[in-house]
Amino acid sequence: MHQVKREIKIQYHLKHPNILRLMGYFHDQQRVYIILEFAEGGDLYDRMKKKWKYVRQLVDGLSYCHAKRIADFGWAVVSARPRRETICGTLD
């Protein structure tokens, strides 16, 4: 549940015209329900096939997240450093 709360907190602070706003959330014992801003116009994939401007807006939104140092590998992570470092193996 800690990771879900972190994800919700990060989503709440994103304010960009090409990223859906988090309106709220609630949960029961089994699930977390996230309420997002209404996205008019139906399925994004079908719209992307018809109009490439949505692809450009998506890239713009992702660039915004990158500038905020938010990377998504399943769960969102906010990093203060420009690069992430992982050490594998035994330390000498």
Known binding residues for ATP: 37-39, 72
CA distance 39 to 3: 25
CA distance 44 to 58: 10
Cβ-proximal residues to 41 (8 Å cutoff; 6+ apart), any chain: 47
Residues placed in the known binding site: 37-39, 72
